[in-house]
Amino acid sequence: MGKGTHIKLFVMMLLEFFIWGAWLPLIFGYLPSLGFSEIQQSLILNAFPFAAILAMFFSNQFADRNFAAEKFLAFSHLVGGLAILGCAFTTSFPVFFALMLVHCVLYVPTISITNSIAFTNMKDATKEFGIVRMGGTIGWILAAWPFTFILVDWEKVKAANPQDAVAWLGAVLGNGLTGDAMQAGTRWTYIVAGIASLVLAVFSLTLPHTPPKPAAPGEGGSTWMQAFGLLSVPYIFVLWLVTFIDAFVHNCFFNWTGQFLGTPTAQGGVGIPGNWIMPIMSIGQIAEILTMFVLGWTLKNLGWRTTMVFGILGHAARFAVFAFLPEYPWLIVTVNVLHGVCYAFFFATVYIFVDEFLPKDMRSSAQGLFNFMILGVGALVANFACPQIKAMMTTEAGTDFKTLFLVPCGAAVLATVALAVFFHPPRQSAAAAAPAALPH
């Protein structure tokens, strides 16, 4: 692959995940500020997992077989970008919900489409894909940082009357929005996401041509039935159920952490200024990059089950710190590095496991089966349950964050026990698995 193509694919991945990373972390606190009920919040939050489920059964295959990938990418991000941009300018539930649904239905298939463009235009995916896909992680991280300069209380900055550039920067970084002003300022996350999507729509037209892939002779639209047939294998079924629990726990983090960080200490939160919430939550993605470098070694020396156990226990440890030690902001911030362990040691390991253990002609279906849980059902259940659970634990005095975070902490412990006791894949040397760690 030429250097120019490599750079284009890297930028494509960067923008693709910048969009998602821009609006997701703060939406959970923004929706209540618009006066939406818990059910309305759940419906909006579940637009994404609904789109992920739809993608498995229909949209991914439809797009892949009928459109040049780069043109589908351009169209999806044009229309989807306008939709997410519109979310910044409405407080009406029907309008907000419709716009979010349009954005998600068009955005989710592009996650697979960008992979397809990358793989089609690589000479050696085992060497090249890891670096290209890292652009996505970097994009998610970069999405957090503009808001340190957007979600700022400019009146306080002006009152501080900084006399030079250093003093001005210190005043900006130290005076983030809080309370109602922070919630109102969150509308900028949709503006930034929309602009990034429109940029990607234009940029997509410069990508290498990737023609549609018509169905092979005799191949129908029932690949999802083949995928679900894999659940007759006991160890696949156990891993699938554990993946559901871990996906639920993972989405509890996104549902509650932003609000927890921004809530004043007097009300049980951490009291982080609004412009620092997204950068703090992005610490996990930085750690993810570092953790991926040791994943191959971990699989070789600890094996599949132990590596996955550590991944799930990372969630339990992080939520335990949130629950019991909120009075130590430095520890709350630092413990987010466990996200890298949580993601790489479980979700990434699941993908590698499927690629290693299943026959080549079944791998795509199996990956879709687990994405059905990770991006679909697990997130769907979390997004319906989390607003309800939080409402049950909130009074006029504030939210009982300790009890709240013990829910996903306990679920993670349950998943760990289930995996340790019931997950028994066929015996295979960890050394054989290690080479697959980096490309995926």
**DSSP tally for the chain: helices H, then strands E:** 24, 2
What is the bridge-based pairing of β-strands 398-399 and 394-395? antiparallel
pLDDT band at 229 (very low <50, low <70, confident <90, very high): confident
Could you tell me what percent of the chain has a pLDDT over 90? Answer: 55
Which residues share a beta bridge with 395? 398
Q: How far apart are CA 387 and CA 32, in angstroms?
A: 9
Q: How far apart are CA 234 and CA 118, in angstroms?
A: 34
Angle, vertex CA 245, rays to CA 241 and CA 248, nearest 5: 135
pLDDT confidence of residue 223: 61
Residue-wise pLDDT tens digits, 356-374:
777 666 666 677 788 889 9
Least confident segment among 1-10, 143-152, 240-249, 390-399: 1-10
pLDDT confidence of residue 52: 87
Residue-wise pLDDT tens digits, 7-65:
999 999 999 999 999 999 999 989 999 999 999 999 999 999 999 888 877 766 777 77
pLDDT confidence of residue 8: 93
Residue-wise pLDDT tens digits, 313-350:
999 999 999 999 999 999 999 999 998 889 889 998 88
Pick the more confident residue, 73 or 122.
Answer: 73
Q: Stretch 403-424: mean pLDDT, rounded?
A: 96
Q: Give 360's contacts (C-beta < 8 A, 6+ positions apart).
A: none
Could you tell me what percent of the chain has a pLDDT over 70? Answer: 91
What angle, 0 to 180 degrees and rounded to 10, lies between the N-to-C axes of helices 93-120 and 38-45?
20
pLDDT band at 430 (very low <50, low <70, confident <90, very high): very low
Task: Specify whether the CB–CB gap between 52 and 240 falls below 8 A.
Answer: no
Pick the more confident residue, 242 or 137.
Answer: 242
Residue-wise pLDDT tens digits, 147-206:
889 999 999 999 988 888 888 999 988 888 888 889 889 999 999 999 999 999 999 999
Pseudo-torsion of CA 265, 411, 44, 35, nearest 10°?
-30
Q: Stretch 411-434: mean pLDDT, rounded?
A: 78
pLDDT confidence of residue 369: 83
Least Cα distance to 24 among 114, 98, 107 occurs for 107
pLDDT band at 67 (very low <50, low <70, confident <90, very high): confident
**Domains in the chain, start-ordered, CATH in brackets?**
1-151+186-213 (1.20.1250.20), 223-440 (1.20.1250.20)
Q: How far apart are CA 282 and CA 336, in angstroms?
A: 8
Q: Is 220 left (phi over 0), alpha (psi -120 to 50) or beta?
A: beta
Retrieve residue 301's tokens. 């020396």
Query: What is the pLDDT of the chain when averaged over all its residues?
Result: 87
Q: Stretch 72-98: mean pLDDT, rounded?
A: 97
Task: Specify whether the CB–CB gap between 177 and 49 falls below 8 A.
Answer: no
Q: Is 84 left (phi over 0), alpha (psi -120 to 50) or beta?
A: alpha
Task: Specify whether the CB–CB gap between 307 and 299 falls below 8 A.
Answer: yes
Least confident segment among 352-356, 365-369, 436-440: 436-440
Pick the more confident residue, 64 or 406.
Answer: 406
Within 121-220, residue ranges assigned H as helices are 125-144, 147-150, 154-160, 165-173, 179-185, 187-204
**How far, CA to CA in Å, does 140 sit from each of 71, 242, 416?**
23, 26, 28
pLDDT confidence of residue 434: 38
Pick the more confident residue, 85 or 117.
Answer: 85
Q: Stretch 428-436: mean pLDDT, rounded?
A: 40
- Which stretch of DSSP H or E encloses residue 101? helix 93-120
pLDDT confidence of residue 69: 86
Pick the more confident residue, 15 or 145.
Answer: 15
pLDDT confidence of residue 433: 40
Least Cα distance to 372 among 226, 236, 227 occurs for 227
pLDDT confidence of residue 363: 65
Whether the pLDDT of residue 378 is over 90: the answer is yes
Q: How far apart are CA 412 and CA 405, in angstroms?
A: 11
